[in-house]
Amino acid sequence: MNRKLRSIKELFLSLGSSKKEKLVKISVMIPTYNTDPEALDRLIKSIDAQTMSMDEYEIIFIDDGSTTNIYEVLKELATERSNIIVQQIPNSGWGSRPRNVGTKLASGHYILYLDHDDTVFPETFEKVYEYGIANNADVVNAKEVRTKGWSWGWDQFKENNPSAEKLGIQSLLPMTPHKFYRREFLLENDITFNEGARVLWEDVYFNTKVFSCGAKVAILADYPSYYWIDTGANNSSSFGRDPHEKWEQIRKLITFFTETISNKEDLDFMLKHWYQSRVLGILGAWLLDKSEDRIQIEFDYAKKVAEDLIPLYIDDELNKINQLRSYLLRNNNLEALKELAKNDKGITARPYAKNVQWQDGLLTLDVETEMSVDEKRPYLLEYTEERIFRAIPSDLKQIIPDHYLDLTEEIKDNSFKASIKDRNTRVTWETPVSSSRVEIRHLPESKITFKGNMQFSINMENAAMGSPLRKSPWDIAARFSALGMTFHRGIVGSEGYIEAALVNGRTAVSYTNKSQLLSLDIGSKVHSIVSVANPQNEDLQIEKEKDQRTITIELPNVQVFGETKIKGSIILKEMGDGDNNQERKVKAFLIGDGKQAKVVATFDIPVGEYSITTVFEGRKSKLDSLILSIS
């Protein structure tokens, strides 16, 4: 259907919908099988938290013949909610058939395939629908978050892109099914998930079909939409146990690419992507801890895939590390690959904070790193006539052509970047840097290594791609890329470092955490501003006016930017040896005014001595160093 006519149709349907039968905007399709009740409860709560009205979306549960009582639980849930559909099918052994059945039952404009142990963020449905409709999208590839790792979707979710299909098939990376697909587009093009009891990468097949049918793709990057929770129960993880089955599936998928993707650039991208990740990816550190039999089996399969399915010209598009692996694979030299893996073992680049301080309401950092082996010695390269070569054992040099060892051209892709991650939601945002350099450090005997230095500031008001950072502990990291290798790691802080600030109405504590890495606590989720300030008796002032007393607790070592006034309380408890000491709770304010931070409270209280506990943003701080004496 013409896109303009489609928009008119959607507008007509929207205007023609009665109050009782609103247009269903989103269909949430959830396959279940022996679902953990706690995971189901977590999933439902995330849907209930949606800002979109519940009569504008529907939830479709297709149970794949569970052997537990989960189907009965779902039916009971459906009796309580008018927007839930529940159906059970005979066990198919995989999520594909339940998704296909659910697609036929759906009536929403967009379908989200939500796994039964994952969740969605509160504004997901509303933001995705509005963005998709505004941009006439057949697919909205919304920012996805994963439990583990810093770099999930790093390249794909850098910015909103309403016409991402122009990027090619990579616009659908990461190729999970956790996207919003226009239902009519799927039906018109007869796009379904491949069914069967064990279908590895069914989501990759599905997304490849979607793109090959001419989907208009919009990337929504400025709001985290989907949370993929790694429970360890992923069906796909079982494939690694049987190498024969795994490599049969890899061959099948690559063959599918060549038969399905007509655009050469898109086909080359997928061949390169899968060759690097699934074939060449096992020819490094993986070789160091597997049995000889298993290594030989996998190597033979990998070599056969390269010979049969990967054109030689793809090698030219690889980075030098993978070019060399491919050269040795195609030349049947497993022993050289093993020796290379030993030579490269332990390469890393750990970032260290040289300086951390609050400036003008921003947390400013100066960070450095250097490539090393196990963080014990520099990772060495050879420097000859202004060319950079990998340093490898002499026996390998005799069998490897020099151009595979020459890394000089790789320098253009070197980079040093910063990021922050919400410790609770696992959302990662790239942080703009004010200065970043990756440079050569010269060492004796014509050896070199690479080092990086960068300066960046975290602005709590816009660090989430233009939006404020939410109240949470945030972990700070650096992403160092050099010579085709990338290391994304937390930044090491000085032992014992902790610094507090009041910034335009918000509390913030930057500190070195238990793992010796830098974190930023916003909203007193880990640290109390008052405890960090550690006020002493000389910081306590008492003023009396008639029957009322006002106490002011000055907070030393707390930096103040802008105006802050946060409502909380003070708990005053009588001191003494008895068991019946009275406790009084009074209103208090945490104030940042000019350059001074303080706690202020006014109350009427009998003569005596009292211990003081402050409560702000739900966090208590018992001030053992303070004694309030009322006479």
In 3D, which of 315, 273, 317, 275 has the Cα closest to residue 170? 273
pLDDT tier at 595 (50, 70, 90 boundaries)?
confident
In 3D, which of 344, 345, 361, 370 has the Cα closest to residue 492? 370
Share of the chain above pLDDT 70, in %: 95
Q: What is the tens place of the pLDDT at every residue in 204-229?
A: 999 999 999 999 999 999 999 999 99
Tokens of 204: 């990759």
SS3 of residue 395 by DSSP: helix
Whether residue 15 is predicted with pLDDT greater than 50 in this model: the reply is no
β-pair partners for 573: 583, 611
In 3D, which of 477, 555, 469 has the Cα closest to residue 515? 477
Tokens of 447: 């050896």
Q: pLDDT value at position 6?
A: 54
Q: What is the tens place of the pLDDT at every residue in 116-174?
A: 999 999 999 999 999 999 999 999 999 999 998 888 899 999 999 999 999 999 999 99
Q: pLDDT value at position 2?
A: 53
Cis amide leading into 174 (omega within 30): yes
pLDDT tier at 233 (50, 70, 90 boundaries)?
low
In sign, the C-alpha dihedral spanning 311, 312, 313, 315 is positive
Q: What is the tens place of the pLDDT at every residue in 53-107?
A: 999 999 999 999 999 999 999 999 999 999 999 999 999 999 999 999 999 999 9
Compute the distance between CA of residue 34 and CA of residue 68 in angstroms, rounded to an integer. 6
Instruction: Report the Cα–Cα distance between both ends of the chain, in Å, rounded.
Output: 84
Q: What is the tens place of the pLDDT at every residue in 429-453?
A: 999 999 999 999 999 999 999 999 9
pLDDT tier at 240 (50, 70, 90 boundaries)?
low
Compute the distance between CA of residue 24 and CA of residue 13 in angstroms, rounded to an integer. 10
Number of other residues whose CB lies within 10 A of the CB of residue 555: 23
Compute the distance between CA of residue 304 and CA of residue 326 in angstroms, rounded to an integer. 12
Compute the distance between CA of residue 509 and CA of residue 586 in angstroms, rounded to an integer. 25
pTM: 0.93
pLDDT tier at 630 (50, 70, 90 boundaries)?
confident
In 3D, which of 319, 248, 243, 242 has the Cα closest to residue 280? 319
Q: Which residues contact 108 (CB under 8 A, 6 or more apart)?
A: 24, 25, 26, 27, 57, 58, 183
Whether residue 12 is predicted with pLDDT greater than 80 in this model: the reply is no
Q: What is the Cα 455 distance to its own chain's centre? A: 23
pLDDT tier at 631 (50, 70, 90 boundaries)?
confident
Q: Contact 400/545 with Cβ under 8 angstroms?
A: no
Segment 385-406 shows an average pLDDT of: 95
Query: What are residue 403's phi and psi, to 5 degrees?
Result: -65, -20
Q: Which residues contact 187 (CB under 8 A, 6 or more apart)?
A: 103
Compute the distance between CA of residue 95 and CA of residue 32 in angstroms, rounded to an integer. 8
DSSP annotation of 484: T
Cα within 13 Å of Cα(625), Cβ side: 14
CA-based Rg of the chain, rounded to a whole angstrom? Answer: 29
Q: pLDDT value at position 605?
A: 86
